[in-house]
C-alpha cells in the first residue's frame, strides 16, 4: 500500500515538472509581434524603420502608403495590411509566410496621387497576423486626416 502511494506521489510530482518544463519551452519561443506600423507618404524599407524617426504623414495631394512590419512570423501565417478610410478598406495586401521565424514588411496604398487628391476622411493602417484561422497579432493606427 505504501509503495502504491509513493509511486502515485512520484508520478504526480514528476508529471507536474514535465508540464512546467513544457510551458517554459513554449514561453521561450519568440512571440509574433507587429514591431512597426503606420501610414506615410512613400514606400518604406526596414533600414528606414530601424532609425525610429517619425515618418511624414500623407497629404491630400501626396502618395499614401500603409505599412506593417511583423517579427517572428511562422510558416503558414497570413499577414494582411489595410489602408482604410472611415473604417472601410480602400487597399490591402496579403502575404502567406513561407519560412518560420520570418520578419515581414508589407505595404498597401498608392505611390501616386488619386485623381483630384485623397477624399476627406479619417485614414488608418491596420495590420493583422492570422495563424490557423485565429488572430495572433493585430494593430491599428489612430485615425488621421490627409490634410
Question: Can you give the residue ranges of every domain in the chain?
Answer: 1-30, 31-145
Residues 6+ apart with CB under 8 A from 123: 39, 58, 64, 83, 84, 85, 143, 144, 145, 146
Cell of 147: 490634410
Q: Distance from first CA to last CA of the chain, Å, rounded? A: 81
Identify the three-state secondary structure at position 49: helix
Helix (H, G, I), strand (E, B) or coil at 20: helix
pLDDT at 145 over 70: yes
Task: Please report, for the chain, how many H helices and E strands are present, in that order.
Answer: 2, 8
Q: Which three cell numbers stand for residue 123?
A: 485614414
Q: Superfamily for 31-145?
A: Immunoglobulins (2.60.40.10)
pLDDT of residue 26: 54
> 65: buried, middle or exposed (CB in 10 Å: 19+, 13-18, 0-12)?
buried
pLDDT in tens, 20-46: 333 333 567 789 999 999 999 999 999
pTM of the model: 0.79
| Residue 78 CB partners (closer than 8 Å, separation 6+) | 94, 95, 96, 97, 129, 130, 131
Amino acid at each position: 500500500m505504501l509503495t502504491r502511494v509513493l509511486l502515485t506521489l512520484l508520478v504526480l510530482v514528476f508529471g507536474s515538472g514535465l508540464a512546467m518544463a513544457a510551458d517554459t519551452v513554449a514561453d521561450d519561443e519568440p512571440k509574433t509581434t507587429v514591431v512597426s506600423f503606420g501610414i506615410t507618404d512613400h514606400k518604406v524599407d526596414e533600414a528606414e524603420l530601424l532609425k525610429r524617426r517619425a515618418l511624414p504623414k500623407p497629404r491630400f495631394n501626396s502618395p499614401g502608403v500603409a505599412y506593417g512590419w511583423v517579427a517572428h512570423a511562422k510558416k503558414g501565417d497570413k499577414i494582411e495590411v489595410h489602408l482604410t478610410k472611415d473604417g472601410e478598406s480602400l487597399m490591402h495586401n496579403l502575404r502567406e509566410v513561407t519560412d518560420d521565424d520570418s520578419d515581414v514588411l508589407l505595404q498597401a496604398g498608392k505611390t501616386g496621387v488619386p485623381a483630384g487628391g485623397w477624399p476627406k476622411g479619417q485614414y488608418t493602417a491596420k495590420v493583422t497576423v492570422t495563424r490557423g484561422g485565429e488572430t495572433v497579432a493585430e494593430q491599428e493606427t489612430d485615425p488621421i486626416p490627409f490634410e
